[in-house]
Structure 1
Amino acid sequence: MAQDHRTIKVARDEDLRSQIGSGGFYFDLVDFDRVRAFQVPVGTTVILFMEELVKELGTPVKFQRLWLCQRRQNGTRRPSRPLNSKEKKLSIGRVFSADVKLFLEVLNPCSPRNLNREYLLVFLKFYDPEQTQLRYIGTLFVSCSSRPLDILPKLRSVAGFCADEEIELYEEIKFEPNVMCEALDIHHTFTVNQIENGDIICFQKRPKSCNQHLYPSVKLFLEHVHKLTECTQLRHERDNAMRQVDEFRGQNDLVHLQIEEAKKECNQLRHERDNAMRQVDEFQGQNDLVRLQIEEAKKECDQLRHERDNAVRQIDALLTQNTVGRIQIEEAKMECGQLKHERDSAARQVDELRDRNSQFILEFRLTCLEQATEHFKDLCKMEDTEYGCVYKGIINNTMVAIKLSKSESLFQQEISVLRQGGRHANIVTFVGMCSEASALVYEWLPKGNLEDRIVCADGTPPLSWHNRTQIIGEVCCALLFLHSHKPNASVHGDLRPCNILIGANYRSKLYNFGMSTLCLQPGSCPPNLTARLPYMDPEFLTIGDLTPLSDVYSLGVVILRLLTGMPPLAIAKKVKEAFQSDNLHLLIDKSAGDWPYTQAKQLALLGLRCVEMTREKRPDLTEVWTVVEALVRKPPAPSCPAHFICPILQEIMNDPQMASDGFTYEAEAIRRWLDGGSNRSPMTNLALPNRALIPNRALRSSIQEYLQASVALAVRSLNLNL
């Protein structure tokens, strides 16, 4: 026979902190339905159970104090008293006669060890009317004879208020049918204020004006939340009622249809009966014939009655089938869910096969490219480089870039590199190819290349310092991907601003990587050498060996150019001299805006380290990334929370969707990523478990509140300036 057990739920400070303010939960301390439960044999002692908690929760026994949570008249459960040393030695079955709910207090150096009736354990919540946010702060032991006035310094410290900030204190009383939050008299003792173990004290900064905030006090906020909960419940009940009405209407329409069919059948019977009567009148003189016809008519009537009875039985059977049909619908829904699961599994298998089959590339016909570029019209030509002519075209209503390779060898080399490489958010997306024309089709990036943006070609505005820092980070991230991509790592070999393309919102992507081996053969003079030379690794020029540290050298030149806006020739020498003479501020590009000087010095030092003449003195790309990542992650002030930003677009999200890698992206960006044929995470480059997207409604609500608050703050600032 199985041993009897007790279900013990243990709430911790982490449960209170994670639940209060999440998912509309503001009242009480914790929802025990969401708290971890332990099945404990009744013969186990309390102290052994506490030792088991050490394994599960990591809190040593000497720092554990378990409080018994008892139900109050208002329906809440609050810690009422701690378990004493005698109870800890007893078995679970003797201490608890039924399932129980406990609160685990983790002792700290300030916690009183020997509790008596003089001490009270209270729970603190902090309400911020500016953010319209109520959150859990922690626990506090107070003396019965002390006053709320005595704990105000502690509360100011916890909330980060100044020492003379006025604070209002409230006690949560009850929740149904009306939310009540009663103010505490800070000059009377906690006993006079009727504070007990487990009571909740809410505190807030005293508002300077009742009209300053939407809900200036925690009492009004709790009433607002309660009304929202009631409204949600009423909407749910209304929707259920409307669905039932629709079901009844459907059944009513079926009954009306059956009635109409019965009426038609009756009319048919009447018509046949009238025909029979006319025949009786016509052949009344022929008695034998009439009698025969009457007998036949009677038989026909009996048959009609029989058919009518059958029709009635069929109607009853249809009603029964209606009930069976509903059951079958539910079974069909379950089967549909299974089929969806199998479809997702098949999609994953297809993605895996697509990864394995790297030879698959979309093939375009020459006529398609001619139609896209109006027969390679000069107006569609965007640039002419040593790698080929680039045209802008439209294929399937999508703007693309079409590159006609200078030679068949360049075309085959680029196809080989693209087959070995993978997809990355900061590498230009390869769409397909045309073998007839030795042409490759890429995504179109509307803002051209970085070289044109640095020199402000065609009157374009200069890049801001924040955009330049972001571009450095994205180029470094893309190079890391190329160098570490498995199974075929690669080196760019020709990293220059003209091979860094700029898309919408100034997101940068690498281009023409892996092509330098054909243009830079030993003993040959590469095309456009004057433009290439300042970016080329000196050791590569000496020994002809291209390594990832060659890309580091080129990246260093790009960093110095973005920092100063100067031409690349001898730029490292000029920056080094300015750095040593403490005149770096004279070289920083003023058109980029007020570049933070500390950040500019870090980038200058990093760029100089990257352009060392010998590879041994240069940092590897991983070390470069540790410096760049810290700079990129510093958003310009004022900044929004980092989790509001889409990792792909680097913009505040409008429709956040959570992918199966656990990261949240803008819906349009992640769908475009998945529709492009990638089954890997844009953040980790690992295979996605599935292609499902889940709306992150909580984050969307937080973003909307943040944007509304930002607009209100801007309007308020404008009014003050006026």
Structure 2
Amino acid sequence: MKLLHLVLVLQTVPIWFFRSCTVVVHAIQEDPPVSSPSPSPSPISLISTSMAAFSPGVESEMGIKDHYQHGDLHRKKILLLIVTCCILAGISLLSLFLCFIYYKKSSQKKKDTRSSDVEKGLSLASFLGKFSALKMVSNRGSVSLIEYKILEKGTNNFGDDRLLGKGGFGRVYKAVMEDDSSVAVKKLDCTTDDAQREFENEVDLLSKFHHPNIISIVGFSVHEETGFIIYELMPNGCLEDLLHGPSRGSSLNWHLRLKIALDTARGLEYLHEFCKPVVIHRDLKSSNILLDANFNAKLSDFGLAVADSSYNKNKLKLSGTVGYVAPEYMLDGELTDKSDVYAFGVVLLELLLGRRPVEKLTPVHCQSLVTWAMPQLTNRAVLPTIVDPVIRDSVDEKYLFQVAAVAVLCIQPEPSYRPLITDVVHSLIPLVPLELGGTLRVPQPTTPGGHRQAEKLFLDGAASA
């Protein structure tokens, strides 16, 4: 529309200018020169002629005087018309110049707005002063920007009495909001570029996720060089603390552990199968699996997660936690959804065996859980003896080897041998009681021979892999 308006102005201004010039020309033509003969003598000229007969010198003197007077008047008219034309031309040029300036400014403003919108749509690319993208997410209604003073008051000035946990990512505090609801607040030091990117990445991704097995984001905040992410509160904390903390997994029986494994697999299935593009968590581990009051498991900490379409092997920094990182990613930088499947297999071993993914045997020697457990998982005589002592007596041995076989397939060194996470979900659903989200009815009516045959099929599959 701006360009069309400029064209119309350019078309109309010259017409107006030339019309004015035409009027000027006509005005000049309507004032004939003094020497032009008159077609018919007027009464005044007749009188002048008759008077000339009595005064011979008068005619010559008056003719010369009239000639100069008419010449001066003619020159003044021409000069006036030239000045008028110049003024009209100046006005026309000034109008064109102003229209050009207006068009350029309008175009630049529109271009800047369009560029800003593109940048906001692509990613959360800025922090603090460059905060427009995060505000854009808030404006969509997906996540709220919460004032820092509210968090400061809700956490008792981030006092130790409100501390829920801490790690390399930062500290997590319990906060009571103004509506008396309780939330968890993760406090992140964002002084480095990597920390800023992780903070923005997690806020961006969590604002888009909607799944019962992925943590829900309540809001975010920024104060100076610190970022805050506010989540729903998970009363039972993280899986790592329950398994390896003071209770040593005593609150988790066999069926609850299978439920947690199934919930975790369902969360990964959402990322791998239902998100477009595919999202790879890249840091799945027991400390990033949180449990609500009913022991429903939810994935958290998406700072290192990547969308498959934006993954660039040459630019992506190797990240993860020792013991959970897939060998192909650690050695070659090859990252796929099967990397998450490997990490899930390690978590499944933790649930089954009650051991950490890496254990320190001596100050200079560590042992990998995968390396230690792999040769024993398919040994029917040995497997029951290495199960976590807390659940050893309550394990339903009819399904023990099935769970072990799933774990073996997930931690295969070759990625192509690992199952899709959807296949893992389908394998675990029949092992989880109906009231815990599976399809298992306790007791399940089946023959002992059927159990043994199912166990043999899983073991044969693991051995062939």
TM-score category by the smaller chain? Answer: 0.5 to 0.7
Contact 1:493–1:514 (CA<8 Å) still a contact in 2?
no
Checking the alignment, whether the CA contact within 8 Å between 1:491 and 1:513 is kept in structure 2 is no
Residue 357 of structure 1: how far off its partner (Å): 7.7
1:361 maps to what in 2?
Answer: 143
Change over 3 Å in CA distance of 1:605–1:615 after alignment to 2: same
Residue 524 of structure 1, CA deviation = 6.5
The Cα shift of 1:394 comes to 0.7
Distance 1:602 1:521 in 2: 39
Shift of residue 457 of structure 1?
A: 2.6
Q: CA deviation at 1:638?
A: 5.7
Q: Distance in 2 between matches of 1:635 and 1:480?
A: 21
Note the C-alpha offset of 1:579: 3.2
State whether structure 2 residue 410 is matched by structure 1 residue 622: no
Residue in 2 aligned with 1:402? 185
Which residue among 138, 161, 171 is the counterpart of 1:389? 171
- Check whether the contact 2:148–2:221 (CA below 8 A) recurs between aligned residues: yes
CA displacement, residues 328-382 of structure 1 (integer Å, 9 cap, x when unaligned): xxxxxxxxxxxxxxxxxxxxxxxxxx99985742111010000100111122122
C-alpha spacing 1:458/1:471, structure 2 compared with 1 (3 Å): closer
Partner of 2:399 in structure 1?
599
More displaced stretch, 375-384 vs 628-637: 628-637
CA drift at 1:614: 1.4
Residue 323 of structure 2 aligns to a residue whose secondary structure is: helix
Q: Could you tell me whether the CA contact under 8 Å between 2:289 and 2:300 is conserved in 1?
A: yes
Which structure features the higher share of helix residues?
Answer: 2
In structure 2, relative to structure 1, the CA distance for the partners of 1:453 and 1:357 (3 Å cut) is same
Work out whether residues 422 and 485 of structure 1, in 8 Å CA contact, stay in contact via their aligned partners in 2.
no
Identify which of structures 1 and 2 has the higher relative contact order when contacts are C-alpha pairs closer than 8 Å and 6+ apart.
2
Q: Is the 8 A contact 2:238 2:290 kept in 1?
A: yes
Q: Corresponding residue for 2:154?
A: 372
Match of 1:573 in 2: 371
Q: What is the identity, as a one-letter code, of the residue corresponding to 1:393?
A: A
Q: State the partner residue of 2:27.
A: none
Q: Which amino acid aligns with 2:146?
A: F
The match for 1:563 is: 352
2:210 aligned with 1:418: no
State the SS of the aligned residue for 1:566. coil
Matching of residue 477 in structure 1 with residue 266 in structure 2:
yes
Q: Deviation above 6 Å: which 4+ runs of structure 1?
A: 354-357, 520-525
Unpaired runs of 5+ residues, structure 1, are 1-353, 640-722
Q: How does 1:247-266 map to 2 (within 5 A)?
A: none
Residues 588 and 367 of structure 1: is their aligned pair in 2 closer, same or farther, counting only changes over 3 Å?
A: same
Question: Distance between the aligned counterparts of 1:607 and 1:543, measured in 2?
Answer: 23
Residues 469/521 of structure 1: CA separation in 2 closer, same or farther (3 Å cut): farther
Describe the superposition over 1:112-149 as per-residue Cα deviations: whole angstroms up to 9, x where unpaired: xxxxxxxxxxxxxxxxxxxxxxxxxxxxxxxxxxxxxx
**Residues 496-507 of structure 1 aligned to structure 2 (within 5 Å):** 496-507=285-296
Residues 621 and 459 (structure 1), Cα distance of their counterparts in 2 relative to 1, 3 Å cut: closer
2:300 matched residue in structure 1: 511
Matched, 1:589 2:388: yes
Query: Equivalences for 1:313-712 in 2 at 5 Å?
Result: 360-395=142-177, 396-407=179-190, 408-419=196-207, 421-436=208-223, 437-457=226-246, 461-515=250-304, 532-569=321-358, 570-582=368-380, 583-592=382-391, 593-632=393-432, 633-635=438-440, 637=442
For the aligned residues, what is the CA RMSD? 2.9
* Structure of greater Rg: 2
Secondary structure of the residue aligned to 2:252 is: coil
What SS is found at the alignment partner of 2:276? coil
What's the offset of the Cα at 1:522?
7.0
User: Which letter does structure 2 place at the counterpart of 1:397?
Assistant: D
Structure 1 counterpart SS, 2:145: coil
Q: How many residues align?
A: 280
* Contact residue 425 and residue 509 of structure 1 kept, 8 A: yes
In the TM superposition, residue 571 of structure 1 has moved relative to its aligned partner by 2.0
Structure-2 residue corresponding to 1:104 = none
Relative to structure 1, the CA distance from residue 625 to residue 525 in structure 2 (aligned partners, 3 Å threshold; closer, same or farther) is closer
Distance 2:138 2:443 in 1: 46
Residues 1:412 and 1:399: Cα distance change in structure 2 (over 3 Å): same
Alpha-carbon spacing, 1:575–1:404, altered in 2? closer, same or farther (3 Å)? same
Contact 1:389-1:406 at 8 Å conserved across structures: no
- CA apart distance, 1:422: 1.9
Report the secondary structure of 1:505's partner residue.
Answer: coil
Report how far residue 428 of structure 1 moved: 1.0
Q: Please say if residues 448 and 502 of structure 1, whose CA atoms lie closer than 8 Å, have aligned partners that are also in contact.
A: yes
Residue 576 of structure 1, CA deviation: 2.7
In structure 2, give the amino acid aligned to 1:626.
Answer: H
Residues 352 and 388, structure 2, Cα contact 8 Å, conserved in 1: yes
TM-score by length of 2: 0.56
CA contact (8 A) 2:217 2:230 kept: yes
Q: Distance in 2 between matches of 1:460 and 1:601?
A: 21
TM-superposed deviation, 1:521: 9.3
1:382 and 1:355, CA in 2 relative to 1: closer, same or farther beyond 3 A?
A: closer
Cross-structure match for 2:34: none
Letter of the 2:442 partner, please give it.
A
Amino acid at match of 1:377: G
- Does structure 2 retain, via aligned residues, the 8 Å contact 1:482–1:491? yes
Q: State the AA in 2 paired with 1:629.
A: I
Q: For residue 295 of structure 2, what is the amino acid of its counterpart?
A: Y
More strand by share: 1
Closer, same or farther: CA 383–355 of 1 in aligned 2, 3 Å: closer
Distance in 2, matches of 1:365 and 1:457, equals: 36
TM-score, with normalisation over the residues of structure 1?
0.36
